[in-house]
Amino acid sequence: MKVSLNWLKEYLDISLSPEVISEILTDIGLEVEGVEQVETIKGGLEGVVVGKVLECGRHPNADRLSLTKVDVGNGEGPLQIICGAPNVAAGQTVMVATAGTTLYPINSEEPLVLKKGKIRGELSEGMICSEDELGIGEDHSGIVVLPGDVPIGTPAREYYKIEMDVVYEIGLTPNRSDATNHLGVAKDVAAYLKINHGHSGEVRMPSVEGFQPDNNSMPVEVVVENTEACPRYAGVTIKGLTVGESPDWLRNRLLSIGLRPINNMVDITNFILHELGQPLHAFDLRQVTGRKIIVKALPKGSKFTTLDEVERELTGEDLMICDGNEQGMCIGGVYGGINSGVKDTTTDIFLESAHFNPKWIRRTSMGHNLRTDAAKVFEKGSDPNVSLYALKRAALLMKELGGGEIASEVVDIYPAPVKPAEVQVNYSHVNRLIGIEIPRETVHSILAALEMKVLSDTAEAFTVAVPTNKSDVTREADVIEEILRIYGYNKVPIPEQVKTGINIAPKPNPDELRNILGDYLAANGFHEMMALSLSESRIYKELYNSVSEAELVYINNTSNVQLDIMRPDLLFSGLNAVLHNQNRQQVDVKLFEFGRSYRHAEKGIDEQQHLSLFMAGSRYPESWIDNRKGDADYYSIKAMASNMLARLGISGYQETAINDETFAFGLQYHRGPQVLVQFGKVSPRLCKQMDIRSSVYYADFNWDALLKAVRKHKIEYQELNKFPTVRRDLALVIDNSVKFSDIVAIARKVGKKLIQNINLFDVYENESQLGQGKKSYAVSFLFEDSTKTLKDKEVDKVVNQLIEAYESQLGASIRR
């Protein structure tokens, strides 16, 4: 938000330096992010003066150009200027930019630096300027022609009354609905000066005492069908207006904060918005069919063309300002329609001043991506009790600057007036939260300066009425914050003693484990992602049935109604990320995320921590030195899951195949009912429904279970074995249903401490040689004894026991 110092001084009797004002703004919680000295017209029109066209003839080498002689009052004779404007003529009083002048045309992003030079063979010593070139308007059809009595040589900055101003860029937080306008900031500054510098605290409020309807010749009926979305709607008719250029003072106020003047009527509505924080809308009365306004939501799917000429489809929850035929004229509080606004030919208007529900406005503003100044004010919570005052202020200005008359009584529909919130505050809590003891008299003085009336007062506490412009001040802590802002943050002393406590990190330290696994994954080519904790209920109702609707945690998300639940798992967050990359030609994807899932359970909401992995596309990066090829597959994700558990020192877990709709095939590692990780190939059906063209492999670690497993893990050290190992290989012909884990389990039981490692190094399948439903596993066994060198007899004995066990338990036959 931009705040003009000249504008503030209209309401405050102050003569403080810009630097002091900047410090005060920061001290009252309006953080100043930037300070800029500005002129109401960029560049200040230095080098531009009033001139008189003495001669004007055709350029000898170009029919469309004129060769002029212009007196600029410099005592050095007239300047020769080549001009291309169709309306230039001898005898005109014009604006002339002399050589060396820098102009900032409105319709150009680049400044224009004027130099003497030849145009089609003739010398040109300057430029006769249009509105656009001067930066005072958008008209580029011809030069500016001034009244003939303007003295020649008058500087343009003097003629246009260009002001110097200091503008503060305020980082306005969402809770400061009272500071969205210059009067709100002025009141805060006045309160601070009154408490801390003996200022009177007086703020000059613009008077509306002169407001009175001239007649009731053009009444407009107003019907508010949705009072939840529109708690207050006020309006008045003004007729006989002349739409034209705004006076200098109004133009300067808008230009100082970066707003482009349009015409007197539109400029007044923008002025009131930034003066009082009340958005207004002016309707061309000719477009208000039946002279009736209906405030309602139109049916879902209705079409409406906004001021930017974009046809928008309404959601059914967009509040519309409609005419007597229930045709939309404006999206209430957000954006006007293409036909109903003020035009150059407008003479009669209906002026709207309303208060809209912040939730409705934000939902519409975000849903249609219309982030207008009015919407931002309503989102923060406008003051419902300033609507009528703002309407009268604007109507008087329009009557003054447009020459019209107020042609109706004021319509004010306000069925449930908003009253000041009453908040009880304990004195002890004021001192505890602020950190020092503030005298009660000072507290009361601050509240009075903030126009917060004390309703009751006891030795322990007081009750205060909070003005309706402070919509976010609803709790005791909020009132205390208001007191502190005006008292002054810098007056709270910094303690001379620093107190600290000894923090003992938990074991295992979750942050340390995250870093260990994160570093490991990054070293293996993975990228960390951070997805939203929100998801679409539609996915779990239509695409994925593994989560029941009763488990879904619904939220009221007004900014994006599609994201209506907290995510019950991390699967679809990752799949969306894979799809996002795939749509941008990034098909080789390795992603991981530390995140949370949310589900309804018997004892409330079950919030669990996860680590998820996603692999798609090529397993290896493309490289001239590394010729390895191949896409990620089931064994890629299994290797990552196994290696990560090994990295944490977790072993001794069981393996069980997964049979659900998440995976085409998968596996889970678990200790009894406690699942450590599930991984596998994501169901092709889900990938197809998500428009993902490649196979995706997914692992989901239960982070809480990992922490528990690591907590129980004890690090043990043992001496390196100085005795040699012995290897034996067996080729087992087994049924296809037999798993390698079955072979390992039998070997561990038979070999006990002698077998140190079991490895599957070859798989062979051939029905003609092995028989139907058979496969051959080549398995190696490493034998080792830490106390002696093993003899062949000892190893052979164990191998014979293995063969016997495999034959009897698995139905295996040994290939000799």
Q: What is the pTM of this model?
A: 0.64
pLDDT at 717: 78
Cα 174 to Cα 472: distance, rounded to the nearest angstrom: 9
pLDDT over threshold 90, residue 797:
yes
For range 73-85, the mean pLDDT:
92
pLDDT at 27: 86
pLDDT over threshold 80, residue 378:
yes
Residue by residue, DSSP assigns 375-427 as HHHHHH---GGGHHHHHHHHHHHHHHHH--EE-SPPEEE-SSPPPPEEEEEEH
pLDDT over threshold 90, residue 491:
no
pLDDT over threshold 80, residue 384:
yes
pLDDT over threshold 90, residue 542:
no
For range 213-227, the mean pLDDT:
95
Phi first, then psi: what are they for 32, rounded to 5°? -85, 115
Name the percent of the chain lying above pLDDT 90. Answer: 70
Per-residue pLDDT tens digits for 340-355:
999 999 999 999 999 9
For range 756-778, the mean pLDDT:
91
pLDDT at 727: 94
Q: Which residue has the higher pLDDT, 245 or 349?
A: 349
pLDDT over threshold 80, residue 291:
yes
pLDDT at 713: 67
Q: What is the mean pLDDT of the chain?
A: 91
Q: Which residue has the higher pLDDT, 665 or 201?
A: 665
pLDDT over threshold 70, residue 149:
yes
Q: Which residue has the higher pLDDT, 652 or 609?
A: 609
Per-residue pLDDT tens digits for 714-735:
777 778 889 999 999 999 999 9
Amino acid at position 171, single letter: G
Q: Is 12 exposed, middle or buried (0-12, 13-18, 19+ CB in 10 A)?
A: buried
Phi first, then psi: what are they for 136, rounded to 5°? -105, -5
pLDDT at 402: 93
Burial 633-655, CB ≥16 within 10 A → b, else e: ebebbbebbbebbeebebeebee
- Residue among 566, 575, 607, 606 nearest 593 (CA): 575
